Amino acid sequence: MAKNSEYTLELLLESGMLTQEQIDQGWQKVADSGGKLDILDSLKELKFLDEKELLQILAQQYGLETIDLSDYQIPPEVIDSMTPEIVKEYKVIPVMKHESTITVAISDPSDLETIDALRFRLKCDIEAVVASKEEITKLTDHYYGTIGESVDSFLEGMEGGNVESQIAGAIGGADEAVDDDAPIIKLVSLIIIEAFKKRASDIHLEPLEKRYRVRYRIDGALREMESPPKYLQANITSRLKIMSKLDISEKRVPQDGRIQLKVEGKDIDLRVSSIPTTHGESIVMRILDKASIQLDIPKLGFYSDDEELIKKILEMPDGIFLVTGPTGSGKTTSLYAFLNTINTPHRKIITVEDPVEYQLTGINQVQVNPIIQFTFSAALRAMLRQAPNIIMVGEIRDLETAEIAINAALTGHLVFSTLHTNDAPGAVTRLIDMGIKPFLVASAVKAIMAQRLVRRNCKNCSVPYEPGDEELQILGLDKEYVKTSTLMKGRGCNECGGSGYRGRVGIYEIFMISEQIQNLIFEKVSSTVIREAARKSGMRTLREDGLRKAASGTTTLAEVLANTTMDESTDH
């Protein structure tokens, strides 16, 4: 309805578009409708008034242009300039954008209040053009829909049946007082539930130029899921930031938070990371399922000979045991399993971590907090005053932490920690590069284990397969290896989501520091020389352990190839 209907009627009378008798009939129809129709709508229904002619007269009166939206295509960047809430609240739609000016289509040129309100809300210049209410409504439904309808449409594409039955009792713990029927809350809940059901370790919500991509990391590989409409991006981001207690008004700097939930009766922690990108805030959630962590060494995938080596290391009274590998290679899980094995009432164990990923019963776990200068080194110094038998340092990141860990090992403590190196022998040169004296490294470090995670063949759909000549050549294998192996490969089924893999298993490289190796470290030789010496003394490399597991049908040659580098001086 026009803001000034009387003035509009006067204009129409003066232009000869209406007679007084027609206007009187229009008011009678308004009365008959009980006020549901306004005067202009009633005149249109009586076919006394033509929509296009009306718009042209009104636009001309207010110095505005008219626009035909019947076949109008609105660019994505223009659609993204206004949220669905603003479009629906003010009954307008953006049609053009140039620098800091947005052109919006309105159906009532006399409504100057709406233009002023939009300038204030969007903090930019607003220009108006005039279009019919029906065309604006049609385009609004096409480009924006309603949030509830958009969410329901998206959820129809997700697996798992009835949405309400999945959410009811399935998820709780994050501001449960909130109305769980709200569409965006429902959508975010289902994204998390689906990720949990698919055994995902991470949820990636990534704003791209023209779409909002959702990906789950399952068994170490990213899989793209059904993506919600681009215009729901801001709503989803705000909901997740509220759940993880982040500042929703701050969009310029990275933020980290945490969400604690119960999903299907299990305690779940979500570590949330938000970072600004070109097209909005990218959010990654790491899913930590406390019930799924493997705390038994045999379940980690060691063969009996490697398991014996690990037991021997864990029985040492002092020294440093390092676990190396890239982010996401399972280092923390291995360390937790080791600590759980040696966690007995007569030992005091303290860990310092960033963050504390899982709570271990009977172990004192300390969370670092750089904001208050409570770093790894500061925590480690304080821990030593607690007279522990065993110490676990989440990661050796700097010289100070390395020095305190070395000194702790040399004064009778068994120290566990991690480093980011490609192989086990490389950890020695990494410590020396940090500034630790070679003789201290040689004396304190007792063993180093490098590890990777490879995907397991799906037990439901694995079948024997013959590797191609090219695959064998790249891996340096001969026909004898194939003859003595049980090579398997998953065909893909519902259970593994069509990937042929389900779950992951570790491959390991265990490096014991012998007296001969100690002498090489004293001499400051390169990591290549140390690696060759370790190989001669019996160290099995990551690739060799991977090939053993491929030969037994646990994984595939392709997985081994993707996760390991060529071993130097390898004879097959």
pLDDT digits (tens, 9 = 90+) for 264-291: 777 888 999 999 999 899 999 999 876 6
Residue 38 has pLDDT above 60, yes or no: yes
Comparing CA positions, the residue from 326, 321, 395 lying closest to residue 355 is 395
| pLDDT for 178 | 41
Q: Is-above-0.95 flag for pTM?
A: no
pLDDT for residue 572 is more than 50: no
d(CA 122, CA 124): 5
DSSP SS3 for 234: helix
Average pLDDT over residues 144-167: 55
Say how many C-beta atoms besides its own lie within 10 A of residue 182's C-beta.
16
Query: Residue 126: beta bridge partners?
Result: 102
Mean pLDDT of the chain: 85
In the prediction, which pLDDT does 557 show?
Answer: 93
Q: What is the pLDDT confidence band of residue 93, given thresholds at 50, 70 and 90? A: very high
